[in-house]
Chains A and B, each alone.
Chain A
Amino acid sequence: MKKRLLATLLVMVVTATVILTGCGNGGTDSSKSSSDTLTVMCVGTEADTYLGSYKQIAEEFSKENEFGVEVKIDFYENEQYKTKLTTLMASNAVPDVFFTWELSYLQPFVEGGKVADMTPYLEEDTEWRDQFSDGTLELLAYDGKNYGIPTQKSLCVMFYNKKIFADNGLSVPTTYKEFLQVCKTLKENGITPMTMCGTDAWIPAQFVQQIAGGMAGDQLFNDICEGKEQWNNETHVKAAEEVKKMADAGYFQDGYIGMGPEEARDLIMNGTAAMYFMGAWEADNIQNSDLGEDAGAFVLPAYDEQYNNISVGSVDTSFCVSENSKNKDAAVAFIKYWSSLEKEEMLLYDVGRIPADNFELDESKLTPLMTEILNISNSQVGLTPWWDRQFGAGEGVEFNNTCVSILGGEDASTAFDALQQFAEDNANR
C-alpha cells in the first residue's frame, strides 16, 4: 500500500517535471542555431518604418546566399534589446549577428572575447574596407582591430516646418543669434518654436552637446575623451544654461519636461511646433507624416561662428559577428550584403537611412528632405558621437541626467560638478 502511494507520488512528480520541461522546450523556435540558420538580433519595433526593408534584406539574402543559410532576424524594443544582449553575452548565447552601438557600448563585449575580429575579412576584401567613409570603421575598432561594421551614419539636425517659417516671414537662420530671433518671433506669434522631450534624458542632452560643440568645437569633445578636460568645464555649464534659458523663455512646448519622445515628435508632425532637434533617423517618419513636403532640415548654427558645422553624430545600425558563431563566413557575408551599394541605396531612397559609405548617389531618387539632410551630412567638418555612446551607461548616461536636472531647475555648475565627481568615483567601481 505504502509503496504504491510512493510510486504514485513519484509518477506525479515525474509527470509534472515532464510537463514542465515540455513547456519549457516546446517553444516556437526549437530550430535555433542549427547550422543552416543564421540568427540575427536587431533593434526595432513595428512602429519603425525601416522594419520592412530590414526584413526584406534578410529574406533576399536567405534566397541568394551561397552558404545555404536562412536568416532569422528578430527585433526588440531599444531598452529590452540592451537587457537581452547583456544577458545573452554573459551566457554565451549570442546570436550569429547582432546589432550594436559603437564605442563604449561594444567595448566590454570585445574585452570579454565575445565578438569576432573582423579585421581579416576587411583585409581580405579591401574594396569592401575602402567603401566606408573616413573614420566610421574606427568607431568600432578596439586595439587597432575592427569588431563591428557600421551600415549607416546619423547626425542631429534641426527639422523645421517650412510652411510655418514662410507664414511668419522667417528664413533658415545662419547664425546662432538669428536662430534665437526665429524662436522669439515664433513665440510672439503664438507658435511653439521647438518641440522637446524631457522624459528621455538623451534628447535634451544631445541639444546641449550640439550647442557646446558650437561653443568650443570638437576639441572639447576630444579633450574630455582623453581626460584632458573635465566634465564641469565652462562650456558645458554655459551650453546647458543656454538651453535652460530657451526653456524659460517658453521656446519649448508647455509641459515638455513630462513628455515622451513620441509625444514630442507628434507636435512637429502635426504642425503644432515649428522645429524639432533630432537625429536624422527620424526623417522618414517626419516626411511620411502630415508634415510631408513641408518638412525641412538645417544644421543648428554654432554659437561661435568659427565652429560652424560641428554636429552631434556618429555611425548607426552597426553589426557584429559573435565569436561563438558556427557560421562566421555566412555571417560576414550577410553584413557585407547589407552594406552593399544596392541595399544601402534601397535603405536611403525608401526609408531615409544615410549610408556609412562614400558611394556615388543618384540624387534624383532622393526626397527633398533627404536631399537637404545629405547636404548637411556632407558639409559637416566634425562629428562628435553622443556622450552616452562614447561613455556608455556611466558618464554618458549621467551627462544626460545632468542636462535634465538642469532643465528641472538645478544650478548648472553644481550639476556638472556632481557629474565630474561621479566620473572620478566611477573609475574604480
Chain B
Amino acid sequence: MNKVLGNKKSIAVFVLPAFIIYAVFVLIPIGYNVLISFFQTDLMSPSKFVGLKNYENLFHDKTFIGAMKNNILMVIGSLIAHLPLALLFGNILFQKIKGSHFFQTVFFLPSVICGVAVGLTWTFVYNSEFGLLNKLLELIGLGNLQQVWLADKNLALLCIIVVVMWQFVGYHMIIQLAAMRNIPESYYEAARIDGASKWVQFKAITFPLIKPILKVDAVLIITGSLKYYDLVAVMTGGGPNHATELMSTYMFYQGFRTLKYGYSAGIGVILLIMCICSVLLSNFIFRTETIEY
C-alpha cells in the first residue's frame, strides 16, 4: 500500500501541475499586487515608491470609505437572506413535502444566471418608465410610491442588495439542505419517539449538526458579497455620484479609468485583508467542536 500511495514521483505528478498553475496565476499576482500597492504608478511612466501613502490616502478618501460601507451593507443583507431565509426554506423542503424537487430547482435557478444578465433583467424591473416595479405599484393603487429606483442615491444600493439577496437564496439553501440530508434518519426517529416537536428537532438535532456547514457557508456568503462586481457594473456603474460604489468597482475605476494602479492595488489588498478577517470572525462565531456523524 505505502509503496503505491507514498510514491514521491506519482504524488508529484498528481499535485504539481495544479500547484504550479495556482502558484503562478494566483499566488504570484497577489504578491505582486501587494508590492505595487506601495508604489505610485500608472504602469507606463517610472514608478515611485511611496510606502504606505496609498493606504493613508485611501482612508481619507470619502468615496472609498463609502464603498467600504456599501460592501458591509451588502454583507449584512446577504447574511440575512442567505442564512435565516435560506435555512427556513431548506428546512421546509427537508421535511418530506410534495413538490420538493420542483421548488429546489426553481429556487436555485437565479444563481446560475450570469450577473450581467441578472443586472440587465433587474434594470428592466426597476426602470422608472415601464419597469415592473412601478407598474406593479400603479396596479395596486400605490402609484404615489413610484420611484426612479436606481437613480435615487438613497435607494439605489438597497435595490441592488435586494437583487443579490434574491439571486443566491437558492444556492445557499441547497448547500444547507445537502447538509441536512446527511444527518442520519435514526436521530429523528429517536426524537419522535421522545415526542419532540418539529421545532425542538430543528433546535436540538438539525441546527447543531449542520453548524460546521453553516460556518463554511457564512464564509462563502461574506467573501462572495465582498467581491461582488458585475451587478453594480451593469445596473448603476457605481452611480449616482458613487452612491452604489463597491470596493471592487472603485478598484476598477481607479485602475482602469484614472490610471492610478498603485492606489487601485491598495484597494485590492484591503479587500483581501477584509476577506481573511471575515473568515477568522466566522470561525469565531461558529466555533464548534468537530462532530462526527
Contact = CB atoms under 8 A, between A and B. Distances in A.
Interface of A: 6, 9, 13, 82-83, 86-87, 89-90, 108-109, 111-114, 198-199, 201, 255, 257-259, 263, 392-394, 397, 401-402, 404-405, 408, 418, 421-422, 425, 428-429
Given A9-B13, A108-B44, A404-B241, 6 more contacts: A199-B240, A257-B240, A258-B149, A408-B151, A408-B152, A429-B61
Nearest to A89: B44
A405 B62 contact: no
Interface in B239-268: 239-242, 253, 256-260, 263
Contacts of A429: 40, 54, 57, 61, 260, 263
B16 to A, nearest CB: 11
A392 B258 contact: yes
Contact of B61 (A6, A87, A257, A425): A425
A208 to B, nearest CB: 14
Interface in B39-57: 40, 42-45, 53-54, 57
B97 to A, nearest CB: 42
14 contacts: A9-B13, A82-B257, A89-B44, A90-B43, A199-B151, A201-B239, A255-B129, A257-B152, A258-B128, A258-B148, A263-B129, A401-B241, A405-B153, A422-B63
Contacts of B256: 82-83, 86-87
A387 to B, nearest CB: 15
Contacts of B242: 401
Interface in B9-54: 13, 17, 40, 42-45, 53-54
B209 to A, nearest CB: 40
B65 to A, nearest CB: 12
A108 B40 CA distance: 13
Interface in B78-122: none
B253 A408 contact: no
B44 A114 contact: yes
B57 A113 contact: no
Contacts of B239: 199, 201, 401, 404
Q: Which of B17, B152, B242, B259 has the most CB of A within 10 A?
A: B259
A114 B43 CA distance: 12
Cβ-closest 5 pairs across A and B: A112-B44, A258-B148, A258-B151, A405-B241, A401-B241
Given A108-B259, A111-B45, A393-B257, A422 B62 contact: yes
Q: Which of A114, A198, A255, A429 has the most CB of B within 10 A?
A: A429
Interface of B: 13, 17, 40, 42-45, 53-54, 57, 60-63, 127-129, 148-153, 239-242, 253, 256-260, 263
A280 B220 CA distance: 50
Nearest to A201: B239
A408 B151 CA distance: 8
A201 B263 contact: no
B53 A257 contact: no
Contact of A112 (B45, B148, B149): B45
Nearest to A87: B256
Nearest to B257: A393
Contacts of B259: 86, 108
Nearest to B261: A90
A90 B44 contact: yes
Contacts of A393: 253, 257-258
Given A90-B44, A404-B239, A429-B40, A259 B128 contact: yes
Nearest to B233: A79
A408 B44 CA distance: 38
Nearest to A91: B43
B62 A428 contact: no
B240 A405 contact: yes
A205 to B, nearest CB: 11
Nearest to A84: B256
A198 B258 contact: no
Nearest to B238: A401
Contacts of A112: 42, 44-45
Contacts of B17: 13
Contacts of B148: 198, 255, 257-258
B258 A394 contact: yes
